[in-house]
Amino acid sequence: MRVRRRSVKLAARRDNHYNVRVLQPPSQPAHQPDGSAASTADQLREKLRVRAEELESAERHIARLETQILAWKDAKRAASDAMSRKKSRRWARLRKRSQLSNPSVPASALSYQAWLARHRATPANLARMRAEERSSQHVPLVSIITPVFNTAASWLSGAVDSVRAQSYENWELILVDDESTKEETLKVLSELPRADQRIRVYKLDKNQGIAGASNRGLAEARGEWIAVLDHDDLLEPDALSCGAKTIQAHPDADLIYSDEDKLAEHGFDLPIFKPDWSPDFFLSYNYLCHFTLLRRTAVERAGSFRQGFDGAQDYDLFLRMIEKTDRIYHISRILYHWRRTATSTAHNIRRKPGALEAGKHALTEHLERTGQPGAVFVDWSTHAYRVRRDLAERPKIGIVARRRREESNADPSERISVRTDYPNYEIISSEAVETFRIGDTDFAWLLFLDSEADPIDAGWLIAMAEHVQRPEVGAVGARLSRLDGKVEHAGIVLDSDRIGLNAFRGFPVEEPGACRQLQITRNYSAVSDACLLTRREVFKEVGGFDAAVAPYSDIDFCLKLRRAGYLIVSTPYARLSCEGARRREGNPAAAKIMRERWSDWLENDPYYNQHLSREADFSLGK
């Protein structure tokens, strides 16, 4: 959903030690009504200055620690490699004597490789796709741009071969040599145009980086659609066919992306099964990444690739594109294999620390362009981003505390007052969310809270308020953990049999979860009313909670919000604990109503990939 623009006074910017823009509060007017007010303002500015310096110091310290850790990992890996070579020699002797094989592939990789073999296109599938496309009336030209710099000959040839193997035939491959010096790279580049007339090679006079090379490729491209292939990665043979099919199904599309995996020494591994377009997830990191098809005019309208963002040049481009379009579609299929080497970001983002800072820079500028005052921080435990938006206002929040168990007499007032930084709230009680009558209150925002929930961090309510103030957001959920340190609520995954399952339930709270999704802000189709914040006007707009579908009324409420066009946000930065789980079973009539009312949503949750386990744990499915 497109972010609505607001006219605001942006904070001033300055560059810190890492050339990363830091938001500063707007300058104060010279005239103050009295001396005490001026003194207070000066004190606040001094506190902000000190905190900014502390933050810069902390970032420098963390960066040093990260470098030391990587050096330690390299040393550990070198020692491990030496030990592996020693073991390999011993295994070789054993194999020679007993014909034993060395089981060097991780079990998880073997499991995924077996899954991929069952799901990838067969030769018969590819032949059928090729025949269908040859008879199609609309077969757009796809320009594949590949910047090249000193690539190993075997890897570059493999990347090109994966393009030539495409079932979709209307493509052109534009290889841009960014002043390579390796003879093996130059030799391959000189031979490729003779192998296929659809391949063109251009050489830059001087090294311009990935953005510069990509822009040269874009200038030479003739296609209606643009794709980018890294010089050492591989495409699945049906990648372009799947893209073309999506273009035909959605002729309005501007950006199309697919699932992907990693290409390691032991083969394909570490699949990334993505949700459909999730704007809040995208602001946590570039989950779109590979494989993407971009409408050429949309790329040009956004300003193409920009110098100074190498390592995050695609993230920067995508951020500018989503400011101008919401026509974004997802292909739920592994179509791209990202090579994982010891020096690539596919292995570890800190291998290229400039990429992390470039992404932060791009995200900060995105907030400025879209009129969202705030700041971007790096979560150093996950290397994902956290966007912290300024609160435009702090209206009174009505905290509707409900008893989950009849025998519970828990009063959250004291616990909330001790651990809540948000200054403007009032606690009221309700036997159930379904019996709450909004006409009895005048609160601008409403928080539905389990009376046994206990805030862990004082900033929990501000973390939720940052999102609920956004006009495109309908409801915000928190992360609740049990007393044993395991996750209870972190978002809800829809299911046609069980209506809704708690995402990541039972995971240790500090685990990253699949693709770091337990520790980042993302969108879900629903969040639990154990801690749910919404605005009064949207609550009234969709009719609030429906008692007829209890205990699924929170899921029903969120789906009504989704149908009305609102986003549902779950933030891990609002942390609370609770004693146990809310049971949703026991009301077949309510489940029947939900299946009739929301059948399409329950069968196809857009925020949970169809290839994942039905247990809502984000593991590989069947």
Peptide bond before residue 551 is cis, with ω within 30 degrees of 0: yes
> What confidence score (pLDDT) does residue 9 get?
33
Cα R_g (the chain), whole angstroms: 27
The 3-state DSSP class for residue 591 equals: helix
DSSP-derived letter for residue 11 is P
| List of E strands, 234-361 | 234-235, 255-264, 267-272, 292-295, 328-339
Spatial contact of 245 and 132, defined as CB atoms under 8 Å apart? no
C-alpha–C-alpha distance, residues 307 and 314, integer Å: 11
CA angle 167, 238, 243 (to 5 degrees): 105
**Identity of residue 482:** R
C-alpha–C-alpha distance, residues 580 and 570, integer Å: 20
C-alpha–C-alpha distance, residues 590 and 380, integer Å: 43
From first CA to last CA, the distance across the chain in angstroms is: 32
> What confidence score (pLDDT) does residue 435 get?
72
> What confidence score (pLDDT) does residue 414 get?
85
Q: In the chain, which residues have pLDDT < 70?
A: 1-43, 45-47, 49-54, 56-58, 60-61, 64, 80-81, 83-103, 342-353, 404-410, 580-583, 585
Beta bridge partners of 568: 475
Spatial contact of 231 and 155, defined as CB atoms under 8 Å apart? yes
- pLDDT, tens digit, for every residue of 227-269? 999 999 999 999 999 999 999 999 999 999 999 999 999 999 9
The residue behind tokens 């059928």 is: 128
Peptide bond before residue 268 is cis, with ω within 30 degrees of 0: no
Write out 409-449 in H/E/C secondary structure: CCCCHHHHHHCCCCCCEEEEEECCHHHCCHHHCCCCEEEEE
Give the sign of the dihedral formed by CA 272, CA 275, CA 277, CA 281: negative
C-alpha–C-alpha distance, residues 426 and 424, integer Å: 7
- Pick from 574, 566, 569: which is nearest to 3 by CA? 566
> What confidence score (pLDDT) does residue 300 get?
97
> What confidence score (pLDDT) does residue 8 get?
31
Spatial contact of 455 and 578, defined as CB atoms under 8 Å apart? no
Beta bridge partners of 145: 174, 228
Helix (H) or strand (E) holding 548: none
C-alpha–C-alpha distance, residues 455 and 189, integer Å: 60
Write out 250-282 in H/E/C secondary structure: CCCCCEEEEEEEEEECCEEEEEECCCCCCHHHH
pTM of the model: 0.84
The 3-state DSSP class for residue 606 equals: coil
Spatial contact of 477 and 491, defined as CB atoms under 8 Å apart? yes
**Identity of residue 171:** W
